[in-house]
Amino acid sequence: MYFGKIYRVINMKLKKLFAVCTAFVMISSMFAGCGSRTDNSSGEKKAAAAAAEEKPEKTPETDEEWHEAMIDKSLTSYGNVSKMQEKLKAAQNGEALNISYLGGSITEGMTVAPAYPEKCWAYLTYEHIKEKFGAGDGSNVTYNNAGIAGTPSKLGVLRLDRDVLPTDPDICFVEFAVNDGGDGEYQQAYESIIRRLVENDVAVVLVFSVTEAGHSCQEYMQAQGEYYGLPMISYRDALTYMFDNEKMTWQDFSDDQSHPNEAGHELVAEMIDRYFDTVMEQTAEEYTYPAEPLTEIRPYGAHLYDNTNLEPVDKGTWYNGSETAHFTDGWTYNQYKDGNEPIKFKFTGKFVYMLYHEVAAGAWGKAHIVVKQNGEVYDDIEFSPVAPEGWGNCQVKCIGMSPVNCEYEIEISMCEGDENNAFSILGFGYTIDE
């Protein structure tokens, strides 16, 4: 009885105190309302921020909840969904849906694809899209994996004309985050790929990868993706979230320093599938194409020459053919033949890039390269294909720059003392105003 009486007295006093406080707040609000609109807006923002702080993101508890949170983290942005929805609806109505994947070894599926190409994330997502949006048996949905090991965007932009656009793609995934560096050449090449695909009516999806050491070029790639309103899936963000919360280790995802293992490929595919499972539910808005690029996009619209479409003026001591994977139509110096006669090329272009076979060591020698523009010597250099990071891959070197079309003459021979060593030209990339 005693404690009950005390409780009622205290309760009554608290109610009176609450009433007084409420009145004070109402009066304060009235005076606050007399202030400027800016002050009121600032107050609303602060109140909203405070409310958000009061409701923090719920921490997952079960393994299933952690997994769902990881998949959610991977979806960086839906982007502008109008183009993607248009393509997918057309496929459901029986029109062709051609899907391409442009990237490096992660896209190619190294570690799983050589033996089981159907287990790489690219093929797994293609199967999912075909099943979900294909008409009938899904035969109207086609697959083109243009991933090649060692490819950065500097090479990808040259390969676009050869390996992707001829397939008339409707959707193209672009993955170069771990193969690229952060300098301007990479950024220009990456945007050139995006811009050319968008201008060719392609729905572009950006995929952001990461290495065990944390290398990823997601920052500038994401900035470009936001500028062009593109969907973006980041397995870097998803994995980092799990690593930071000690729910996964790198070894759960990969058996080396950069490539997904079989479970890793399935995980990346699941992240991308989530986007396609939900994209049709998003509100479509009219797409506005950026009139100006973010960078100089110097390699925009590049084409590729090799021995199938460029005949040397003089082959010298060189022969048709090269042995680099996916680049077998180049020219190789014949180190076993007497003489060291230069191979000579002549063609029109603005920017010119030499593709060559790069190695870390071995009997590979320096080449003497002379480049002329409209008859005048533009550059005269000695160039070695040997680099610490080389492993027999295709690499790119810019050997000519001009703001307008000019006539290029290129002569390549071996440097003195390197006549008995090897060198392979895999092709030339070039831009041109047509």
Per-residue pLDDT of the chain (434 residues; tens, 9 = 90+): 333 333 333 344 333 343 434 433 333 433 333 333 333 334 443 444 444 455 567 899 999 999 999 999 999 999 999 999 999 999 999 999 999 999 999 999 999 988 899 999 999 999 999 999 999 999 999 999 999 999 999 999 999 999 999 999 999 999 999 999 999 999 999 999 999 999 999 999 999 999 999 999 999 999 999 999 999 999 999 999 999 999 999 999 999 999 999 999 999 999 999 999 999 999 999 999 999 999 999 999 999 999 999 999 999 999 999 999 999 999 999 999 989 999 999 999 999 999 999 999 999 999 999 999 999 999 999 999 999 999 999 999 999 999 999 999 999 999 999 999 999 999 999 999 98
Q: Tokens 């703001």, residue?
A: 403
pLDDT at 411: 98
- Closest alpha carbon to 385 in 408, 362, 352: 362
**Residue the block writes with tokens 């496929």:** 91
pLDDT of residue 8: 36
Beta-carbon neighbour count of residue 185 at 10 Å?
19
The counts of H helices and E strands in the chain are 12, 16
Q: What is the pTM of this model?
A: 0.86
Domain span(s) for CATH 2.60.120.260 in the chain: 303-430
Q: List the one residue out of 217, 144, 125, 223 whose CA is nearest residue 177.
A: 217
- The token duo for 386 is 């040997």
Query: Which residue has 């997601």 as its token pair?
Result: 218
Helix (H, G, I), strand (E, B) or coil at 425: strand
Q: Where in the chain is the domain with CATH 3.40.50.1110?
A: 63-281
Distance, in Å, from the CA atom of 73 to the CA atom of 210, rounded to the nearest integer, reads 14
Sheet strand arrangement including 203-208? 75-77, 232-234, 203-208, 171-175, 97-103, 141-147
Q: Which residues make beta-bridge pairs with 346?
A: 409
Q: Which of 234, 353, 253 is nearest to 303 (CA)?
A: 353
Amino acid at position 420, single letter: N
Burial of 14 (C-beta count, 10 Å sphere; 0-12/13-18/19+): exposed
Token duo for residue 420? 């008995």
Q: Considering only CA atoms, which of 111, 140, 65, 148 is closest in space to residue 268? A: 111
Exposed e or buried b for every residue in 148-178, given b needs 16+ CB within 10 A?
bbbbbbbbbbbbbebbbbeeebbbbbbbbbb
Map residue 77 onto helix, strand or coil: strand
Architecture of domain 63-281: 3-Layer(aba) Sandwich (3.40)
* CATH superfamily of the domain spanning 303-430: Galactose-binding domain-like (2.60.120.260)
Query: Is residue 402 packed enough to be buried (19+ CB in 10 Å), middle (13-18) or exposed (0-12)?
Result: middle
Rounded to whole angstroms, the Cα distance separating 238 from 220 reads 18
